[in-house]
Amino acid sequence: MKRHASMWGTLALLAVVPLSAGAQERGRTDGPEGSEYGKGGYSRQRDGRFSLQFDWGAAVNQESPPPGAPEGPPLFLGATASFWGDDWFQLDFSGAYVLDGGRLDLLVGPRFRTYGYPLSLYAGLKAGAIFIPEIGTRFGLSPQVGADLMMGDRENILLGLSYALDIPLPAEADGGSNTHRVFMSLGYRF
């Protein structure tokens, strides 16, 4: 008899537990839209998965360009298209043209960002082709660091300040073929 009573008690307990779990009240959604977490709230999801930005700034070659290379001011112009895997990770496709020496960089690589709004810091490493007039195309690496400021109502306007070191390989022992770039970026995330 005790055996049947304990079995019925266990079944009654199992029937009551799911009923009480369903009776919990719904979560609250106070605060600005899109800021709530937990039961009944929202997760932070950005709309934009792609961004396009225009880059410009100073580009200084460690040694003077070879004879016959285009001469110009120590400036460069470029563009970067990015795929945003998440707010902390991007895959960048970039191109830059250095006016002094006529170098053309076509690079691709990841960028890792800190969580922080509206300002976040980043570090990345790009690799690709670096075309140097009078020498030809070489494989190159470009480590980069910088900061991004996200502006606008939906935080979709990007303003950045960055440093990049372009290293054509094989690298010279004194680093004479390297280019240092300090630049600003203005972009849009859509």
DSSP string, 65-114: PPTTSPP--SEEEEEEEEEEEETTEEEEEEEEEETTT--EEEEEEEEEE-
pLDDT band (50, 70, 90) for residue 101 = confident
Each residue of 158-185: pLDDT tens digit? 999 999 999 999 877 666 789 999 999 9
Alpha-carbon gap, residue 168 to 18, rounded angstroms: 65
Q: How confident is the model at residue 131 (pLDDT cuts 50, 70, 90)?
A: very high
Same domain membership, residue 86 and residue 9: no
| CATH number of the domain to which 136 belongs | 2.40.160.20
Shared-domain flag, residues 15 and 62: no
154 and 63 in a single domain? The answer is yes
Q: Cis peptide leading into 143, omega within 30 of 0?
A: no
Percent of the chain with pLDDT over 90: 51
Contacts with 35 (C-beta within 8 Å, 6 or more apart), sequence order: 42, 44
Residues 66 and 158 occupy one common structural domain: yes
Domain boundary among 29, 45, 61: 45
Mark whether 85 and 20 lie in a shared domain. Answer: no
Whether the predicted pLDDT of 35 surpasses 70: no
pLDDT of residue 43: 46
Q: Which domain holds residue 140?
A: 50-189
Same domain, yes or no, for 41 and 121?
no
Residue 45, pLDDT above cutoff 70 = no
DSSP 12: H
| pLDDT at res. 180 | 95
The HSE-up count of residue 178 (CA atoms within 13 Å, CB side) is 16
Whether residues 8 and 68 share a domain: the answer is no
* Together in a domain, 18 and 70: no
Q: Are residues 6 and 55 in the same domain?
A: no
The stretch 117-134 carries a mean pLDDT of: 92
> Locate tokens 């001469």: which residue?
71
How many domains are contained in the chain? 2
Task: Assess whether 152 and 72 both reside in one domain.
Answer: yes
| Whether 154 and 119 share a structural domain | yes
